[in-house]
Structure 1
Amino acid sequence: MQNQHSFDQHETGTLYLVPTPIGNLDDMTMRAVKTLQSVDLIAAEDTRNTQKLLNHFEITTKQISFHEHNTQQRIPELLAKLRDGLSIAQVSDAGMPSISDPGKELVQAAIAADLPVVPLPGANAATTALIASGLAPQPFMFYGFLPRKASEQTKVLTALAQQEQTVIFYESPYRLAKTLTAIQAVFGDRQATLARELTKLHEEFIRGSLSELITWAAASARGEFVVMVAGAQPQPPVVSDEPLKAQVAARIAQGDQPNAAIKAVAKANGLRRQAVYKAYHGLEETE
């Protein structure tokens, strides 16, 4: 068990997880700016991209690259700096570090080394899109980018198909129509929403059935997308005839009239009275 008090005095440095704007620079928080100004080093997914953000806010903190291709090389180096008392801010190109972006490996390594990890709140494409989607905002499941291989994609979608919560994916414009077609093939023609270019000048929400969105995407897909698909409809409980018969018989044995017993059993099981009546008398299988 590990108990971290984020803002106690530490002998080591702290790893700060700093979200950056997903489009509109005004979404940068004051705390995020102050953190990037005060840390000793910024670990950035793309230092060239992050430098533009730093220039905009007149931040002069030194950067070091940390991305999916140099993770194993960088982690020991960054941990050593943290142990030496240097504080590091980790940023991705847009949004939250670790969410469909580099980050989780460094976080896990820092925690394993008993180094403090402090997250900052801020811009996130998934939840920003969800609250304006028109679909149920909770519960929801964030998946991110689906696998590229068709067989792996189908396997993942099949596992998600019976989930009753809204499911959120990320996708590029180049694969959007194909991905929507794959989702429809497994999920059926559910309601869905596309959020395009969030917080930017051409922000757009496209709401409709998956079949309608496939047609739209084939002709109009541009920019980065959040794809949100309605969850599966809950299925009524399946109750076999024999337990129903036993429940009705038990109530009759306790003194209920048959019709009253059937009505009570139907209510207790969330079924129509007629379904329990037919089950009790063996007329047909319960619907």
Structure 2
Amino acid sequence: MNSASYASALTAAQDAAGAQHFPPGALYVVATPIGNLADITLRALHVLRIADVLACEDTRHTQSLLRAYGIEKNGAGLMALHQHNEQEAAQQVIARLRDGLRVAYVSDAGTPAVSDPGARLVAAVRAEGLPVMPLPGASSVTAALSAAGAIDESGAFVFAGFLPAKTNERAQAVQVLATEPRATVLLEAPHRIAALAGALVVLADRPLTVAREISKQFEQIVTLPAETFPAWLAADPQRARGEFVLVLHPAPRTVHEDGPDATALRTLDLLLAELPLKTAVKLAADITGTPRNALYEAALERKKQ
């Protein structure tokens, strides 16, 4: 995109965020667009301009992003921080923060530290007692969830990220998902999407929302039974291109008239280990659909044992 297109955005960013407080010696975790450059926030634009140092997953990618917005940073203002050097580079960031500099961290796209580098950096900075300020913005996870309609009134979901690459381990992970009562978000790369689609066939008619190339020109979002996902992919070679976010809808809840099943009991045991009995019973009932009375009796038996 032409940087001139963002001249008014930079002015708006200065007007909207310029008077806000951006303390020196703080790490700013900045979300950047996952496709459409117009998804940048005004506060992010302002921080990218005023940051003394930009730590980047890929300095070349970030330099291109900055130029698209009409922001100029020289080479000294950029440093590489990615999955292969994060631990060591974090110490360099900490040194700059102790010198009173503002350091902003950006990954190649989306929100850092969510299936992107950044988590170890943030942990290291916090361990030193230095401030970390998040600048929220684009995220493929929340974007896919918002278009899937898969979350119930509890608001609960599971972020599973990338499943194992090895066939047997991936199949085992899918078996765990088969009994997951919450919506589950998966990520996958184009060269592995066919293998993942094949593994999900065992989930039969479980609804699956497939989001491809979110916010980009060829964005595609469909909901279909999991068992039909391989056929959907094969119907058009273009469908296997791009980055994927999958939302596996919750497993249907069933009422267990004969008492809690193994999944309900396992859920109850996990909750009892951390919570008071009544709270654990209530949550286990909400999660599994098992009658509360049956779970309460099971909980009492477990406490006796």
Q: TM-score, normalised on structure 2?
A: 0.72
Unpaired runs of 5+ in structure 2? 1-19, 260-290, 294-305
Q: Where do 1:8-23 residues align within 5 Å?
A: 13-23=25-35
Q: Measure the CA separation in 2 of the matches of 1:23 and 1:78.
A: 27
Q: Deviation at 1:270?
A: 8.7
| Equivalent residue, structure 1, for 2:99 | 84
Please list the CA deviations of residues 23-63 of structure 1 after superposition, one character each: whole Å capped at 9, or x if unmatched: 00000011000001111101100111111110011222321
Aligned with 2:246 (options 227, 236, 248): 227
SS at match of 2:255: coil
SS at match of 1:131: helix
In the aligned structure 2, how far is the partner of 1:150 from the partner of 1:97?
29
1:175 aligned residue (192, 197, 206): 192
1:238 Cα offset (Å): 4.5
Secondary structure of the corresponding residue to residue 224 of structure 2 = strand
Larger fraction in helix: 2
CA contact (8 A) 1:184 1:190 kept: no
Instruction: Select the residue among 141, 163, 184 that pairs with 1:146.
Output: 163
Cα deviations by residue, 1:46-97 (Å, 9 ceiling, x for unpaired): 1111111100112223210100111122121111111111111010110000
Q: Which amino acid aligns with 2:251?
A: A
Query: How has the CA–CA distance of structure 1 residues 100 and 9 changed in structure 2, closer, same or farther, with 3 Å as cutoff?
Result: closer
1:60 corresponding residue in structure 2: 72
Matched residue pairs, number?
Answer: 235
Aligned ranges for residues 162-241 of structure 1 at < 5 Å?
Answer: 162-185=179-202, 187-220=203-236, 221-239=240-258
Single out whichever of 147-156 and 202-211 deviates more from structure 2.
147-156
How many Å apart are 1:9 and its aligned residue?
8.7
Alignment partners' CA distance in 1, 2:204 and 2:228: 13
TM-score scaled by length of structure 1: 0.76
Report the secondary structure of 1:36's partner residue.
Answer: helix
Q: 1:42 aligns with which of 54, 75, 80?
A: 54
- The whole-number CA distance in structure 2 between the counterparts of 1:76 and 1:158 is 41
Query: CA–CA distance in 2 between the matches of 1:163 and 1:124?
Result: 23
Residue 235 of structure 1 deviates from its aligned partner by 2.8
Identity percentage over the alignment?
41
AA matched with 1:121: P
- Say which SS state the counterpart of residue 133 (structure 2) adopts: strand
Q: Match of 2:197, SS?
A: helix
Cα deviation, 1:108-141, whole Å, max 9, x if unaligned, reads: 0011110100001100111111111243363221
Structure 1 stretches of 4+ moved >6 Å: 7-10
SS class of match (2:214): coil
Q: Name the residue aligned to 1:102.
A: 117
Q: In the aligned structure 1, how far is the partner of 2:168 from the partner of 2:132?
A: 37
Do the aligned partners of 1:206 and 1:213 also contact (CA within 8 Å) in 2?
no
**Secondary structure at 2:143's aligned position in 1?**
helix
Q: What aligned pairs does 1:259-274 form with structure 2 within 5 A after superposition?
A: none
The match for 1:282 is none
